[in-house]
Chains A and B, each alone.
Chain A
Amino acid sequence: MMLGYYFALALASLRRNVALTALMIAAIAVGIGASMIVLVVYRAEAGDPIPDKAHQLYAVQLDNWGPVRHMVSSSQRGDGLEDQLSYADAVALMRAHAAKRQAAMYATSMTVLPENAQLSPFTVSARATYADFFAMFEVPFVYGSPWRAAQDEAHAKVVVISNKLNQSLFDGANSVGRYIRFAHGVYQVVGVIADWRPVPRFYDLTVGAYGDTEQVYLPFTTAVDGNLAQNENTDCNQNAPGGSRDLQSDCVWIQFWAELPTLQDAQAYRAFLRGYARQQQQNGRFHWAARTSVRDVPQWLQYEGVVSGQVELMVLVAFGFFLVCLVNAAGLMLAKVMEQSTRVATRRAIGADRWAILAQYLTEAALVGAAGGIAGLLVTQLGLSGAGMLFSNDVFRIVRLDGSSISIEMSLAIAATLLAALYPTWRATCVNPASQLKTR
């Protein structure tokens, strides 16, 4: 009951000094708005792309280059391990089948030759991988299903296509069983996947962390047969000359993921990898004790440095700005409270205790915070659409002001404003109730 009263009082008080109120709300709105723009982006960049399997999927690394590697690779991180595997190792690990599920994969592109001869050929992004890819990454299907493991073995000319490609080639009809003519040959459609977009696209960060998923998926074995080149990063060194199309080389160009449901599975797989590396050393391929590594999804994103320094710096600057806005609002609130000291004294004389004054002004602050938060949502929305045009970074195009961001923004605005209001409110409770008798 009292709360409703404080609410009414706060509204009346805010209406009384419109300029000051507007200034406070504006300060909080731009502060929280700017902060949320970058926070939304940061949350997307630092987000978990596959929450229920984050700790069951592991990226596999193997040191097939040995000591000669310095500065040689674009994918090299601080620990000197490559983040991709060579063809020989990827195929050996696939054959070993030591995990519940596993998939070697690489990004490539395919040229579609439309049935209609009037249309020009066009290129689509493609991923060469194994049947386990779809179950491992929980890829949703509209029609059909993944190809079977036997089709990997048989180098089958089958594809799974995206909903988007299905729209443009088959007008969205169930295309399972139909054929697509690519420059490399004719492939049969076995499945159509629904819109699927992990953010960040953790399974292959060499092609950008926020891009679209591929339009076409085909068996790795078939792609290698067709001499489909790896599109993005192929890394070679003195020990590993050649190119991705040289299957004997030690160039690295293949991502490898394993699904290991329990920690025991992960331990066992680590042991298996170490054994594999030792074996390579024993049979003379490596002249060094090759290190190995498996990292789960969060560790992998951290290792690959998905969150860009620029975004971190923007978060810093935006929250610094928010802090200035809050200090600003606190100063204005203080002025407002001081201006109202007569009224506070009257209320105190009439019998309001300190808590009543505290509650009244904190309610007012919460109201300012909420108004600032709502106006801030507008700022964020405008800012995000502006940033989408400004930045090529795909993350700006995929981030949305979703429910959880909105609630974060609102609670942050209100909490921060309440915090800023603490001192002015405390000052209000200190107003001497006798001051009204003494000012004369």
Chain B
Amino acid sequence: MGPLPTLAELRWNKAGALSIAAQIALALAILCNAMFVIHAQIALMTRPTGIDESDIFYIRSSLIGDQGTWASQEQADVAALRATAGVVDAYVTNSVPLTGAGGSVPISLRPDQVRPNTMAAIYLAGGDALRTLDLHLVAGRDFRPDEIGDFYPSAPGSGRAPGAVIITQALARMLYPDGSALGRSIFIGVPGSSRIVGIVRRLQVPWTSASGWGSNFSEDSVLTPARLIDKNVLYVVRARPGQVPAAEKSAAAALRANDRMRVLDGPYAMKPTRAYAYRDDLGFSIFLAAVTWLLLGVTAAGIVGLTSYWVSRRRRQIGIRRALGATRGAIVGYFLGENLLIASAGIVAGTALTIGLNLWIASAFGMPHIPVGYVLAGIVTLLLLGQLGALWPAWRAASIPPAIAARSA
């Protein structure tokens, strides 16, 4: 009798072995796919926006007075914000990344194109946008003062293309893969053409969903030299490093001091905005992680339970083996070997199941295929889990006294 079990010896408890193998197979499939999905979620949640998130906050303002007062009110507001202690710069716009609300435009290379090349987020950047957001120009320049104009979205016929735009590097590469985007003209879905005068390294669109609107053009943004003049606007403020909380308070107070009869929403710092934007994804990841941990726990408990039972059923047999000269190590080895045998069977089935599940997830949810590394990591995890689960019962088996063999039943 060798120290390791054989398949023939497992036959006497086929069902128990099968139950453990099935658990390991299912656990492997779920573990690998859950890990893969979680990592994809983390990658999604940690995507950079391209702006200086740690020092930026924004306030939504909704004016009550009529249209004639908006422009002067905004000018006064921006001036007040800039004058606030701890503030580096501020501008007025329609949207910032991570807020989930903004505008998008079709981008075409020719005016008569039926199908645009892509969609892009549109950020109104008539003010000091580049400096406030801390965007890095990789080519070209910022808007010149003479390019900047007022933009009244509420006025009929307000849709004329701006003469100059700044676009993101991702959009530039997409439109002109040869790198010749700077200086070219594009069409953004309204009459007139726009010349690309600058390219920024990165600026994410306002939408953060993994598969919803914006997901297929998440790095494609266009900045226009338009100063938004509207009832509802967004003030974006950059504070000195580390002074966001204090600056938030004084900025809100400054706006309220300018006009008490208005509705302010905010201030919101970018950090909590990011957390809020990805809350569902975080919750989803936490759920998957929690279920995966529970799954490992349940599987381990099952292995401990069944192996203990097997040990108790074979006490006499173990005693006899010990009496015949088997060492404790040999007994431990026997049960670990048995577990390894069962787990391996489970892992063979589980690998097939993993791939099947991944194929299904890939087609149903538009996810990529699982890399081999995840499957290997899952296999190692479950083999270790099996061995750990079997170790304690095996150890107890090894401490069964050989004398038990001598006793009659």
A: residues with CB less than 8 A from B are 20, 23, 26-27, 30-31, 34, 38, 67-68, 70-72, 74, 111, 113, 120-123, 183, 227, 229, 236-238, 241-243, 245-246, 248, 309-310, 312-314, 316-318, 320-321, 323-325, 327-328, 330-332, 334-335, 338-339, 387, 390-393, 396, 423-424, 427, 439-440
Contact = CB atoms under 8 A, between A and B. Distances in A.
Chain B binding surface, main DSSP class: helix
Contacts of A229: 154, 231-232
Nearest to A33: B294
Interface in B156-209: 156-159, 189-191
B302 A245 contact: no
Contact of A390 (B37, B189, B282, B409): B282
A338 B309 contact: yes
Interface string B274-307: 0010011011101110110011001101100110
Contact of A238 (B119, B157, B189, B294): B189
B409 A330 contact: no
A23 B34 contact: no
Contact of A328 (B280, B283, B302): B302
B382 to A, nearest CB: 12
Contacts, number: 176
Interface of B: 13, 15-16, 19-20, 22-23, 26-27, 29-30, 33-34, 37, 62, 64, 104, 106, 114-116, 118-119, 153-154, 156-159, 189-191, 211, 213, 231-232, 260-263, 265, 276, 279-280, 282-284, 286-288, 290-291, 294-295, 298-299, 301-302, 305-306, 309, 312-313, 361, 364-365, 409
A391 B306 contact: no
B309 A237 contact: no
Nearest to B154: A245
27 contacts: A27-B302, A30-B298, A34-B290, A68-B114, A121-B261, A123-B62, A238-B189, A241-B159, A243-B159, A246-B156, A317-B33, A320-B30, A321-B30, A330-B19, A331-B23, A331-B305, A332-B305, A332-B306, A334-B15, A334-B16, A334-B19, A335-B16, A339-B313, A390-B283, A390-B287, A391-B284, A393-B280
Contacts of A70: 114-116
A183 B261 CA distance: 10
Contacts of A248: 156
A323 to B, nearest CB: 6
A30 B294 contact: yes
Nearest to A242: B159
A68 B261 CA distance: 44
B284 A310 contact: yes
Given A121-B263, A123-B62, 10 more contacts: A243-B158, A310-B284, A317-B30, A318-B291, A324-B27, A325-B298, A332-B305, A332-B306, A391-B283, A423-B15
A313 B20 CA distance: 25
A292 B61 CA distance: 39
B305 A23 contact: yes
B263 A122 contact: yes
B283 A331 contact: no
Contacts of B279: 390-393
Contacts of B33: 317
A95 B31 CA distance: 58
A205 to B, nearest CB: 13
Chain A binding surface, main DSSP class: helix
B262 A121 contact: yes
A218 to B, nearest CB: 17
Nearest to B408: A440
Contacts of B104: 74
A338 B12 CA distance: 12
A234 to B, nearest CB: 9
Contacts of B154: 227, 229, 243, 245
Given A27-B302, A121-B262, A241-B189, A113 B30 contact: no
Contacts of B262: 121
Contacts of A71: 106, 115-116, 118-119
Nearest to A324: B26
Contacts of B231: 229
A314 B280 CA distance: 12
A324 B282 contact: no
Nearest to A379: B294
A113 to B, nearest CB: 7
Nearest to B64: A183
A292 B285 CA distance: 40
Contacts of B191: 241
A327 B23 contact: yes
A237 B280 contact: no
Contact of A335 (B263, B276, B298, B309): B309
